[in-house]
Chain A
Amino acid sequence: MTEKLTHSAAPSSADPLTDADYRITPQTRRFSALYSRNAKAVIARGLRATKSSNWLIMVSGFFEPVLYLISMGVGLGALVGTVVGPGGEEISYAAYIAPALLAVSAMNGAVYDSTWNVFFKMNFAKLYQGMLYTSLGPLDVAIGEIFLALLRGAMYATGFTAVMGIMGLITTPWALLMVPASVLIAFGFASFGMGITSYMKTFQQMDWINFVMLPMFLFSATFYPLSVYPQGIQWFIQALPLWHGVELLRQISVGTFTAATSIHILYYLVMILVGMVLTTSRLRKLFLK
């Protein structure tokens, strides 16, 4: 941190630089090539940019799951009636799909922020080029962007949980835990997203991300229970991350916790760990060409 002190006391033009000013002692801290412990500057920038220009886009992201909930839950739910919830209790169809929609929204938001958004800021807005010519390292940028994505995810999750409450779909205080659980899900996807983006060169390749996401959204026991599938497909779905997110939030929404709950959480913890290792190892490829 001595760097900062010499900085603020940098010589004015009346006081010419000497050779001593040009000598710096190398830092030997781990990751010092990639990280300057200043992700907060990236976060502050994101908040300021949101305030001044793209808050409207942010609001639109909140409505997406709400619209699904109204059309599928209320509309389609009128035909379906009640279904069996995670604890064996009868719940409305809207209450059944609402946590699943929240998990999907956490996934979509995190994936969008860590792939398309990063891809655009990298290759078109050239935002990261500017950042990386400062003291910031790629890891500062990655941490800052992931934090912003999670903050946004937490806000959406809070809003959506409030909508569920207003619609009478919440019956237990445990349901409030859906907000931190959504952040966990978002973190899992965001940590992988940047690593994956580092392999992408063109818009066409970026489209492959949507190609994976859409079927995962439709088939991860989002709108009906896993039991409708034959055993083999069940196993496949259970290997995918979204299913764990859907089941985790569904259990939390009714306050039914089983051994499976901890498996879902563990799945995400491992996903975050592996994702962060992947993303960190790809940072040079992603940011330093």
Chain B
Amino acid sequence: MPNSVTRDYVISARQLTKHYGDFAAVDDISFDVPAGESFGLLGPNGAGKSTTMRMIGGVSQRTSGSLTIMGLDPEQHGPQVRAHLGVVPQQDNLDEELRVRDNLIVYGRYFGLPLSYLKPKADELLEFAQLTDKAKAKVDSLSGGMKRRLTIARSLINEPKILLLDEPTTGLDPQARHILWDRLFRLKESGVTLILTTHYMDEAEQLCDRLVVVDKGKIMAEGSPAKLIREHSTREVLELRFGSERNTTVAAELQGIGDRLEPLPDRVLIYTHDGEAALEQVTARGLHPITSLVRRSSLEDVFLRLTGRSLVD
């Protein structure tokens, strides 16, 4: 969005903390999201992403810290805040006792919206979710992908200003994912604020203006995808495969090539400014990988680096 500098923060979290017993699911995190931004929470399972989403929706009570959504505390003004939220939870929670179209209409009634608005809106959203011919079907007869699309359609029934998407494309086929990304991109263009959790790095790179990497309830890094890659990874990555038996043993012989080396079970990653040059060094040492690939660094690499999985520095 133009003029994004002057926009208000629609979400502000300060020292946000959530304990379940002794376990800190969210541990002292702070972040701000300006209006119209597409903001991502990236992290492994159990990192605290969903808990953060639930607190934003006001359906989970924080242990300490402060949180405001459009200037209001979601614990004090839950119904009013949620009138402007659309939520796609991680697990579909469609109403199995209602038929497909009724799921949209009844959900809209929860927002107090009139039927004269909801009926055409429901048909429009069914069209978007490619479920028009399933309008009268029972929910449990839908495939996993169809249920996901219906959940996403349902989240748009109140034309939300803030859309919370908790791993929205998990379980969707590639074509459906691209359709959804396109739709989300259009929502973003219309000024809707998107809050997204994902562990698909390509999704985060496609959709997020800015993201935080979270692990064990803490924020590890924050910035735009490009900035995170610049700060936490190298320009290029050389991927080498020596066969699953040999990857770790070969890693020792590769020491000194590139800036950083990461042996994984199926391949060895060499982080370097110049991938081709690094590959020449590898062959010069008499090592011949089965396959080699030079690619740009991605968020995947940032993530591996930050969440600290067996790094060889």
Contact = CB atoms under 8 A, between A and B. Distances in A.
A130 B111 CA distance: 12
A3 B80 contact: yes
A209 B148 CA distance: 37
Interface stretch (A106-114, A132-140, A177-185, A255-263): A132-140
A17 B98 contact: no
B192 A136 contact: no
Contacts of A288: 58-61
Contacts of A35: 79
A127 interface: yes
A288 B82 CA distance: 14
Interface in A50-105: 52-54
A240 interface: no
B109 A45 contact: yes
A54 B98 CA distance: 11
A289 B50 CA distance: 13
Contacts of A18: 191
B100 to A, nearest CB: 12
Given A8-B113, A16-B189, A133 B97 contact: no
Interface residues of A, number: 50
Contact of A48 (B102, B117, B158, B187): B102
Interface in A156-196: none
Interface stretch (A21-29, A229-237, A272-280): A21-29
B113 to A, nearest CB: 6
A214 B223 CA distance: 61
B267 interface: no
B90 to A, nearest CB: 11
A132 B58 CA distance: 9
B98 A52 contact: yes
B106 A41 contact: yes
B83 A136 contact: no
A32 interface: yes
A10 B89 contact: no
Given A16-B191, A52-B98, A289-B60, A41 B109 contact: yes
- Between A3, A38, A132, A140, the greatest number of chain B beta carbons within 10 A of the residue's beta carbon is seen for A132
Interface string B1-24: 100001110100000000000000
A216 interface: no
A54 B102 CA distance: 16
B111 A17 contact: no
Contacts of B82: 133-135
A126 B93 contact: yes
Q: Which secondary structure dominates chain B's binding surface? A: loop
A140 to B, nearest CB: 8
Nearest to A289: B60
A27 B72 CA distance: 10
A127 B92 CA distance: 10
Interface in A5-39: 7-8, 10-11, 13, 15-19, 21-24, 26-27, 32-36, 38
A134 B189 CA distance: 24
A151 interface: no
Contact of A33 (B77, B112, B159, B193): B77
A136 B109 CA distance: 10
B94 interface: yes
A112 B257 CA distance: 69
Nearest to B105: A48
A36 B113 contact: no
A134 B155 CA distance: 9
B286 interface: no
Interface string A198-231: 0000000000000000000000000000000000
B64 interface: no
Interface in B45-96: 57-61, 70-72, 75-85, 87, 89, 91, 93-96
A239 interface: no
Nearest to B118: A8
Given A22-B10, A22-B161, A135-B79, A17 B95 contact: no
B91 A44 contact: no
Contacts of B87: 133
Contacts of A140: 79
A3 B79 CA distance: 11
A280 to B, nearest CB: 15
6 contacts: A7-B159, A36-B112, A41-B112, A48-B102, A52-B99, A130-B93
Interface of B: 1, 6-8, 10, 35-36, 57-61, 70-72, 75-85, 87, 89, 91, 93-99, 102, 106-107, 109-114, 117, 158-159, 161, 186-187, 189-193
Q: Would you list the 5 A-B pairs with minimal beta carbon distance, nearest first?
A: A17-B191, A134-B110, A36-B79, A49-B97, A126-B93
Interface of A: 3-4, 7-8, 10-11, 13, 15-19, 21-24, 26-27, 32-36, 38, 41-42, 44-45, 48-49, 52-54, 125-127, 129-137, 140, 284, 287-289
